[in-house]
Structures are given as C-alpha cells and as structure tokens.
Amino acid sequence: MKTVFFKFISLLICIGLATSCANEALGGVINDSDGDGIINSVDNCPEIANPNQEDLDEDGIGDVCDPTDDTDTDADGIIDAEDNCPEIANPNQEDSDENGVGDACETVDQTDTDGDGIIDSEDNCPEIANPNQEDSDENGVGDACDIVTNMSIPCESGMADIYPCNGYDLMSHLTLSELSINGFGGGTIEGNDSWGWTDPTTNKEYALVGLSSHTAFVDVSDPVNPILLGILPTATVNSIWRDIKVYQNHAFIVSEAPGHGMQVFDLTRLRNVAAPPETFTADTHFTDFGKAHNIFINETSGYAYVVGTSRSGTFSGGALFINIQNPTAPISEGGFGAGGYSHDVQVINYTGPDSDHTGKEILVGSNENEIVIADVSNKANPIILSTVAYSNIGYTHQGWFTEDLNHFIVGDELDEQNIGNNSRTLVFDLSDLDNPTYDFDYFGPTLAIDHNGYVKGNEYFLANYRAGVRVLDISQIASNTITEIGFFDTYPESDSANFNGVWNVYPYFTSGNIIISDIERGLFIIRKSN
C-alpha cells in the first residue's frame, strides 16, 4: 500500500513536471532508482536513499551523496566547513574583530593591568588607568601615558601662548571643566582659592584648587602633564568663596556656603587613586561653626584659625581657635572677638626681632579697616598688643610677614576701585609689636586690584586679579624699595580694576613649580624661566 502511495505521488509530480518526466513511463513503473519514494528527476540524491531530501548547504545535492562535508557539529545551522566557530553554536557568525574566529569561541585575554575596566588588548594606555580612554592628540596613545600630551611654553618676546609674561614659562593649564567631573556642580562654576601639598614620603607635589562647587586635587609632579585625581564636593551648597590649608598631610577646607563647617581630607589617599578622577568624601566634617571666609593654620602649634564667620556669632567674625593636633578630631578652644571681624590672619610662633614676645604665638589680623596684632598663646585669654591703620583705606584684605619678621606686607582690596590708584601694596614696620608703624606704599604698573600675597625668601608673589601674578623683589624693603622682577598674566584682555583673573598663587613647592588659581580659567602651572 505504501509503495502504491509513493508511486501515485511520483505520478502527480510527473504530471506537474511533464518535461522532467518525459522519459518516465506514466502507466508503468515510475523510475526511482534508490527506492526512497522520490523519482529520479526530482530526487537530490537519486542513487542513494534520501527520503527527506536533506540538503544542509543548499547546493542541490542531498547530504547523503554530497562530496562536501555537511557536518554541523554544534547544530547551529552552519556546516563546519563554513562555520567560524564549528564546535560552539554561533548561528549569527559574530566576529567582532574580523579575524575569522567567531566571538563565541575566541579566547580573549581579559588581563586589565591598570584596573581601569578596559582590558589590555583594547586599552590605549594599558599600564596607567585611563578609564575614559582620553586621547587628545588622537595618536592612539591615551593621555594618561602619552608623554607628549602637553608641552611647556616658554615666555618669549613677552608672551607664552596668549598670555603676557616676563621671566616665567607656562608649564600647563587645566580649565575649570578639566578640574571637574562630567560637569559636576551644575551651571557655571568659578575658581577661587588654592594651596599646595608635598607628600613627605614620595615627594610628589599636589595642587589643591577651590571651586564654587568642590575642591579639586591635582597631581602636578609632572608639571606639563597634571592629572586630576579627584574632587571633594562642597559640604552643603555652592559658594564662590572656598579656602584650603594643610597640616599633617590633611587638607582643611572652609567655605562661605551656609552650614559648611570644615571638611578634613586625608591627603595620603591621593597616593592610591586607581582610576582617576574619583569623587571623594571627607574624612571628617567639623560643624562647630557654619560658614567661614578663610582659614589659616599655624603648623608649629597645630592650631587652625578660622575667620570671617558670622558677625553675629560669639566672636563677631573674629578668629576661632581650633586644635587640630589630631587632624581628624578637631577641638574648639574658643576664639578672639576683641578685634572685630577678621578677613584673614597670619599666626606664627614668634622668633623676634621684638624680644618682649619671643616664643609667643602671635596673630596678625587683616580686619577690614586696620591691622590687629594679638598674643594668642593662651587660648582662654588672647590679648591685643596693638593696632595700626593707614590712610585711604578701602578694605584691609590680607597680609604676610617678611621672613625676618621685621615687616608685614598688606593688600587693600578696594582702594584701586574706590580711590583710583594703581595696584597698591602697603608695608608696615612690625619690628616692635607693641608699636607698629605704617612704612610705605608700593604701586604696581597696572590699575588691577591686588588680592593674596605670599613671601618666599626675598620675593613677594602677588595675586593681582586681572594683572595676573606679579613677582616683586623685596630684598631692599628696609630701604623702602620694592621692584617688580617678573609676572605671568592669565587675563590678557585687560588690567583694569575688576574682579576677574587670578585669585591666588602658591609659590612654595621646592621644585620651583608655582600654581595659580584663576576665577575664569582654572589652574595654571608656571615656572621661572631658565
């Protein structure tokens, strides 16, 4: 019965394919050489039974008689001879690297030497973490390990790139966005104060840069290739005022952001940043006070002096005394309100020339309209020694001792706008702390506003807003002479009396690198020309 059925089917096929079956008897025995029920004319393998007509490679020759090996070991529908992965199913034949070996069976070395989440075979910087694969010059070598990412620019013919200069080369520059992470802070951020830290173990140098939304930590050991290691977000909200100082390998950060208090960050954590930049958290958040304008640390005594707090507070915005000898466990020890609101202070363990006060802890405050000198050795009983004012006061902003402690150099922040003079730096004779005297004024070559200034040896480094950083020779200060010997101007557009450009300068790295924090342009690293 089965044979009759197949013959009937074959007959029907022949009727439909009259030409193909012309040589087959319609009324007799249908020609089916292999007896598989498929007549020879339509059989893909007429001599060898192949009743289901399997033809895996679709070449018209049945698998049972096809000289081509139709084996499909992995049963993915691709015969081994054509399969880029014959023993492991890879039906879509994915081959990402186009090397002829299917992804499903290609053994890929997963080694990630630098731990940045990118395997070495695909990493443009396999031995130094570069998780975002930055390659600024598109040379196939990641920025983190490309020794030519940046190049120093010498000061030649009065210019370093677009920046006017005299005697100082531009080593590198990081913009505000490069000092942040993926636009952290939202909207427009601004730069403000800065400080530096040298790791006593590795001798690496780091810039600590204040911005309105955070503090940035930058490895500047290679000054032409600075690396943003991470940021510490503001403790509360954004503020254009943030100030940083360092003690015992810890950064102490205050801000005029309401309720900010003082953040303490262990700087030794910067030694082990595997995948920069990171978003850090503070090691301690000290909240015995809220907002503050500034902080100074006497590294000899281990006390932080926080100034510019609330005018309505217990100490009227004068200096708060905070014991930080254990950096992560600060202790409030009162304050000094007798001198009124203090914008900035310098506090030292005094070594002369006034022998009456040798060995005492002396505070000199820039208190808006005068200089206040106090003995703060006894935190429970600070004593004002003297005050000294001067003519044409705008706003007594900040000051610094000469290294011999004979003179105190002060910047008035508002006299350039209110009075119209060129940048004015005031010098006071403090050789007798009980009877300080105004000595003389130095006027700079521009109209720009003076801001923070620091003494290093016989040089005074002045952050001069739109006029950049000005370097002054103070070796003849005892003869009432100060001379400008160099500058680097980060605000080439103008030297007028406005609040743009350089906020702070830090000149104390032993390498000679000098860091500049600019309100609009971020971090500059400069060095004295050879």
Q: Please give the full DSSP string across 102-162, using - where no structure is assigned.
A: -GGG-------TT-SSS-GGG-SSTTS--TT---TT-SSS-GGG-TTS---B--BTTEETT
By CB atoms closer than 10 A (0-12, 13-18, 19+), residue 166 is middle
Residue 331 has phi, psi (to 5 degrees) of -130, 125
Name residue 312's amino acid: S
Please state whether beta strands 278-279 and 227-233 pair in parallel, antiparallel, or not at all (unpaired).
parallel
Q: Are 318 and 336 in contact (CB under 8 A)?
A: yes
pLDDT at 98: 82
pLDDT at 29: 52
Query: Distance between CA atoms of 229 and 206, rounded to whole angstroms?
Result: 10
The gap between the terminal CA atoms of the chain, to the nearest Å, is 108
Query: Distance between CA atoms of 354 and 367, rounded to whole angstroms?
Result: 23
The CA-atom distances, in angstroms, between 140 and each of 112, 131, 135, 148, 439 are 18, 14, 7, 12, 60
Domains of the chain: 108-149 (no CATH), 168-289+503-530 (no CATH), 293-499 (2.130.10.10)
pLDDT at 69: 65
Local confidence band at 146 (pLDDT 50, 70, 90 cut-offs): low
Residue with structure tokens 């802070």?
185
Query: Distance between CA atoms of 32 and 409, rounded to whole angstroms?
Result: 115
Higher pLDDT, 54 or 222: 222
pLDDT at 68: 66
Give the ranges where 343-493 is alpha helix by DSSP (H): 415-418
Local confidence band at 71 (pLDDT 50, 70, 90 cut-offs): confident
pLDDT at 112: 87
pLDDT tens string 416-451: 999 999 999 999 999 999 999 999 999 999 999 999
Asked whether residue 325 carries a pLDDT value surpassing 60, the answer given is: yes
- Partners of 525 in the β-ladder: 172, 515
- Partners of 515 in the β-ladder: 506, 525
pLDDT tens string 376-424: 999 999 999 999 999 999 999 999 999 999 999 999 999 999 999 999 9
pLDDT tens string 257-267: 999 999 999 99
Tokens of 34: 């292999």
Local confidence band at 130 (pLDDT 50, 70, 90 cut-offs): confident
Tell me the average pLDDT of the chain: 91
- Closest C-alpha among 186, 176, 285 to residue 228: 176
Tokens of 416: 């350039």
Q: Are 314 and 323 in contact (CB under 8 A)?
A: no
Query: Distance between CA atoms of 208 and 214, rounded to whole angstroms?
Result: 10
With a pLDDT cut of 70, the percent of the chain lying above it is: 92
Answering whether pTM is above 0.85, one says: no
What single string gives the DSSP state of each residue in 345-386? EEEEE--SS-GGGTTSEEEEEE-BSSEEEEE-SSTTS-EEEE
pLDDT tens string 198-219: 999 999 999 999 999 999 999 9
Strand order in the sheet with 469-473: 159-160, 163-166, 483-488, 469-473, 459-463, 453-456
